Structure 1
Amino acid sequence: MSTPETSAALPLAQRLPPQLFFVVSAVFHYLGPACAVLLFGAVEVLGVAWLRIATAALVFALWRRPWRLWRRSSRADRWTLVGLGLVLAAMNACFYLAIARLPLATVGAIEFLGPIGLAAAGLRSRRNLVALSVAAAGVAMLTQIRLEGDVLGYALAFANAALFVAYIMLAHRIAGADGIDGLAAAMLAALVAITPFGLGPALPALTDPVLLLAGIGVGIASSVIPYVCDLLAMARLPRASFALMLSLLPATATGIGILVLGQIPSTRDLTGIALVMAGVALHRAGRA
């Protein structure tokens, strides 16, 4: 049993409940993109995506100095880091292009089809098949609303969901003691990958202090705070508990969309989102 003295000696991150880190991550996971949507009127979408990745890459590089990990990594590990960086660049670009066309809650709900499908493929149980079916039904309800007018938006949302699966698989390979250093190295690779497409559109923000600060804020809120909080939560929460709490994220996306963007969901929207949440809560991840 820990005494008050030993508890006080622990780092603050270990004294706070892990659920708190998850809540912070859940809020910023969609608050950052919601603020990015507000920037789309002044900076092109890929420019905002570049600002997000560039900010995260700079913060992680100054904090973790990932080139040290790169020097001691094997050739195979380096290819994994480069692959993760390419996926991060493409995933962020698709996500931002999708939320520029569709409600944040819709894109956030579609995103979860990938992880549930991955769980069903890795652990073929009746429970996971039911979870996937329920979530797919929810996404079907969401996509039938505006599919004819937003084919490109939905295509980008589903591409983001597929890239999210690739992100999970590649990130799992670098997880462990050097996980955050690997993420920092991959973020630098993502910056290199997105620069040819995003630097030009981001130039107006680089010459405007207000827009630049807003872009930096989006990067910190979207890619630094959530990732760090996720690591702190996952380090102390059982996998089943963390997976269950993920079911709250579509609701978080809906709430952020209402409060920040004024995107009021219809009854059908809410029903579809609720089905996705139920699917996320039902699914069970297989062994690593």
Structure 2
Amino acid sequence: MLSVQLGSALSVGLIAEVGAAGTAWLRLSVGAVIFVLLAPPPLRMVRRRDVSALLGLGVATGIVTMAFLAAIERIPLGTAVAIEFLGPLTVAAVRSHNAKALLWPLTALLGVILLTEPWLGEVDIVGIGFAVVSGVGWGTYIVLTQRVGDRFSGITGLSFTIPIAALTAAIVGVPQAAGHISLAILVAAAGLALLLPVLPFALEMIALRHLTPHAFGTLMALEPAFGVLLGLVVLGQQPSATQVLGILLVVLAGAAAQRRGRRGASPTGV
């Protein structure tokens, strides 16, 4: 969580140079090279039924990355993270097969309303829309990451999916970044790629081999708080008292939703 939010906060400067999609494309491309070098993808081991999960996860990762960066270009980091968090929290509630668990996404939604403070008349609908898209993608990412993580050991799955994510982001990112790339931009993108996607995606892939999507989604409850903290420290985004209350509600909802977090023995991977 620290790596993700620090990488996001530090990406704001790069977004100003090459755009949100351009930043996503550069970060994912560097990450793809690193993962392929660390764990060359064993193409001969891919089964037909693996293809849809690998493609789906790669495309979802590319869309999530672009959408989230486009969101933080327009709205505060903590607010974007809180909205995005509704995705995995809803996955956790739905997969719990307990109608009462839906109370927690609704509680988190109340927190998001407090964060966005629509009564002030300064709501950025486009920024919120990008954060919502990112949340839907993150929920999809959690489910597909578990499937890929069960099939491929370690970070092998990422050596398949991150290049697909980079190609997905390239569709919008290459035209956006064209003419603005310099050595300094490439160096910055390489550093940011280590913070996100390399370190956190590798840790998430390993974690989801041992946790249910329900547990993973709810254990990320502190992520909005990390977003607010790093938004304050790195970007100088000072939350109001109402927004702090909103973040606390989102964190509370995520923590309270946690149940049955341990998975059984995971299937043997490649």
CA contact (8 A) 2:215 2:260 kept: no
- 1:241-272 superposed Cα distances (whole Å, 9 cap, x missing partner): 86664222111111110111011111111111
Q: Tell me, in whole angstroms, the C-alpha distance in 1 between the residues paired with 2:214 and 2:95.
A: 15
Q: Does structure 1 residue 182 correspond to structure 2 residue 157? A: yes
Map of 2:23 onto structure 1: 48
Which residue matches 2:167?
Answer: 192
Residue of structure 2 aligned with 1:266, choices 217, 236, 240: 240
TM-score, normalised to structure 1, is 0.82
Whether the aligned pair in 2 keeps the contact of 1:205 and 1:212 (CA below 8 Å) is: no
- In structure 2, list runs of 5 or more residues that go unmatched: 264-270
Structure 1 match to 2:74: 101
> CA–CA distance in 1 between the matches of 2:20 and 2:158?
23
The match for 2:223 is 249
Q: Structure 2 length normalisation: TM-score?
A: 0.87
Deviates more, 1:143-152 or 1:50-59: 143-152
Equivalent position amino acid for 1:79 in 2: S
**1:141 aligned partner:** 114
Assess if the C-alpha contact under 8 Å between 1:250 and 1:277 holds in 2: yes
After superposition, the C-alpha distances for 1:146-202 in whole angstroms (9 at most, x for unaligned) are 675411111111111011111111111112361421122011111222222112333
Alignment partners' CA distance in 1, 2:225 and 2:76? 13
- What does the per-residue CA deviation read over 1:105-147, in whole Å, with 9 as the maximum and x for residues that have no partner? 0011111111111121111336523322221211122233467
Please tell me whether Structure 1 or Structure 2 has the larger radius of gyration of its CA atoms.
1
Shift of the alpha carbon at 1:41? 2.3
Provide the rounded CA distance (Å) in 1 between the counterparts of 2:186 and 2:165.
Answer: 20
In 2, Cα distance between the equivalents of 1:75 and 1:238?
25
Secondary structure (helix, strand or coil) at the match of 1:264 reads: coil
Contact conserved, 1:91 with 1:160, CA < 8 A, in 2? yes
Are residues 223 and 157 of structure 1, via their aligned partners in 2, closer, same or farther at CA, if it must alter by over 3 Å?
same
More divergent stretch after superposition (91-100 vs 185-194)? 185-194
Partner in structure 2 of residue 224 of structure 1:
198
Residue 35 (structure 1) aligned with residue 10 (structure 2): yes
Query: What residue ranges of structure 1 are gaps of 5+ in the alignment?
Result: 1-25
- In 2, the alpha carbon distance for the partners of 1:82 and 1:133 equals 31
Q: Does 1:85 align with 2:58?
A: yes
From 142, 147, 150, the equivalent of 1:168 is 142
Q: What SS does structure 2 have at the residue aligned with 1:43?
A: helix
1:36 aligned partner, one-letter code: S
Aligned length: 260
- Cα pair 1:35 1:260 within 8 Å, conserved: yes
Contact 1:127 1:283 in 2 (8 A): no
Structure 1 counterpart SS, 2:150: coil
* Aligned partner letter, 1:280: G
Deviation at 1:236, TM superposition (A): 7.5
1:232 Cα deviation after fit: 5.4
Aligned ranges 1:192-211 → 2 under 5 Å: 192-204=167-179, 206=181, 208-211=182-185
